[in-house]
Amino acid sequence: MAVRTVPRPLERLRRAGCRVVVHGLLDKASALYDEAEWWSPELLRERQAEWLQATLTAADASSPFYRRRLREAGWSPLRRDGVDRLPPLRRDELVRHTQEIVTPGRRGLHRTSGGSGSAPVTIPVDRETYAWYIAGTWRGFRWWGIDPSDPICLLLGQSSGSRRHALVSRAKDWMLNWRRVPVDDQFDGEAPQALRTIARFAPAVLYGYPSAVHRLARAARAGQARLRLRMIVLTGEPVYGAQRDQIVEAFQCPVAEEYGSGELGSVAFECPHGALHVSAETVFVETPPSEEGTGVGRLLATHLRNRRCPLIRYETGDVGLLLPDGCRCGRGLPVLRVVGRERDRLIGDGVGELARPRVDRLMRLLPAHLAGAVQVTQPAPDAVVLRVDRTEAAPQDLARASEAGVEAFGPAWRVRVEAVDQLTRLPSGKLPYFVGLAG
């Protein structure tokens, strides 16, 4: 049972504030989420087609950018097909054409995607869309027995924007019973202190970047402080197997993955049976195959609720596939498998391959205390440098990291190891464990 951390009057005040801002909208979104997850896949596809048609019709009416793009693709409001003829929306196009895409006259909030190796992008959303964002994550919590009113600690990047935006963000966090611990370049060195701060808050859930939660897990194993958590949700970065195993071992609670972004909200959430279910009521996901013979392709997402800033066939930057089989949980929601970041590719023997599987293998081969303390960089084709955080490594660990690198990459690769003072996080607070030639 979650520990109550505030008096009942404050809880009532929180709920009242939430009700004023988005509560009615949250109720509406949550009601559909709770019903639609049990629809048959056939009914869900039929309803998605209706929502998709409504999204395209609204974009055609309100957005000069999409009106031009839809006409060029031969789309007609009288037909349900044709979305696959639209070119994907790239991130740089969204940045350049935001003013043409955004619907005028609708007030709202702003959402910023931290970016994984690319510049952040900020888009406006209205209150209804934001309610869908929150409701999607809340449904995932409920799958694991978490009530949305339970105290939740967020380990994400620092809020950006104006002072007014920061005040609104703090008020929203307070109303939702969220405590935000910013992840920045100082976080790793101050992880024991952050762990003690979080312990005083006594959250039911940790929700944040895998690299940040993993750093807390190492501090917890060292006896810095104890957290009694009911679950952990990892989001915003790739989840590597060794990280996940050590997080489970340190905190002794279930761990789930959420796949999403600042632009799209919660795209998919892992159920207790291990399937990453797409939030089909909110996002239409496509994975047109591009990896020869594998069925893996770029992940394209169309947001079905955001009328303020339509996102149609938006390139998430990841590659993956929709699995044909359902899940033992019985939900009719599509099941997604994310394979890696499109731009994170190892170049060897003139051929590019996704880096994530090799980095995942390397983490499992490293000594436990080095998993998460080694970053793979590629300065040239057929060569990698393993950057080892010297604060986590003894001198003999460099040789052990080299051995693990040779085993993970094979004899055709030149593997070099160097010690660095600290692995550097991105401005978003994320920590990339692979930096390729393009990075």
Whether 307 contacts 129, CB under 8 Å: yes
Q: What is the pLDDT of the chain when averaged over all its residues? A: 88
Strand segments, DSSP code E, in 223-334 are 231-234, 255-261, 265-270, 276-278, 283-286, 297-303, 314-323
Distance CA 436, CA 118 (A): 13
Long-range contacts from 288-295, C-beta under 8 angstroms, 24+ separation? 288/84, 289/321, 290/319, 291/319, 294/321, 295/321
For residue range 56-111, list pLDDT tens digits in order: 999 999 999 999 999 898 888 777 677 888 999 999 999 999 889 998 765 556 66
pLDDT computed for residue 20 by the predictor: 60
158: phi then psi, degrees, rounded to nearest 5: -70, 145
pLDDT higher than threshold 90 for residue 256: yes
Q: Strands across the sheet with 374-380, in order?
A: 414-420, 383-389, 374-380, 434-435
pLDDT level of residue 4 (50, 70, 90 thresholds)? very low
Whether 388 contacts 370, CB under 8 Å: yes
pLDDT higher than threshold 70 for residue 283: yes
For residue range 139-171, list pLDDT tens digits in order: 999 999 998 889 999 999 876 556 666 676 777
pLDDT computed for residue 3 by the predictor: 42
pLDDT level of residue 8 (50, 70, 90 thresholds)? low
The total of other beta-carbon atoms located within 10 Å of residue 394's CB is 11
Q: Give the lowest-confidence range in 123-137, 234-248, 260-274.
A: 123-137
Distance CA 66, CA 332 (A): 31
Average pLDDT (384-390) is: 95
Domains and CATH numbers, the chain: 8-341 (3.40.50.12780), 345-435 (3.30.300)
Phi-psi region of 236 (alpha: psi -120 to 50; beta: other; left: phi over 0): left
In the numeric block, the tokens 């309803």 are attached to: 47
pLDDT higher than threshold 90 for residue 17: no
pLDDT computed for residue 286 by the predictor: 95
pLDDT level of residue 23 (50, 70, 90 thresholds)? low
What's the chain's length in residues? 439
pLDDT higher than threshold 90 for residue 400: yes
pLDDT computed for residue 349 by the predictor: 79
Burial 8-45 (b: 16+ CB within 10 A, else e): eeeeeebeebbeebbeebbeebbeebeebbebeeeebe
pLDDT higher than threshold 80 for residue 318: yes
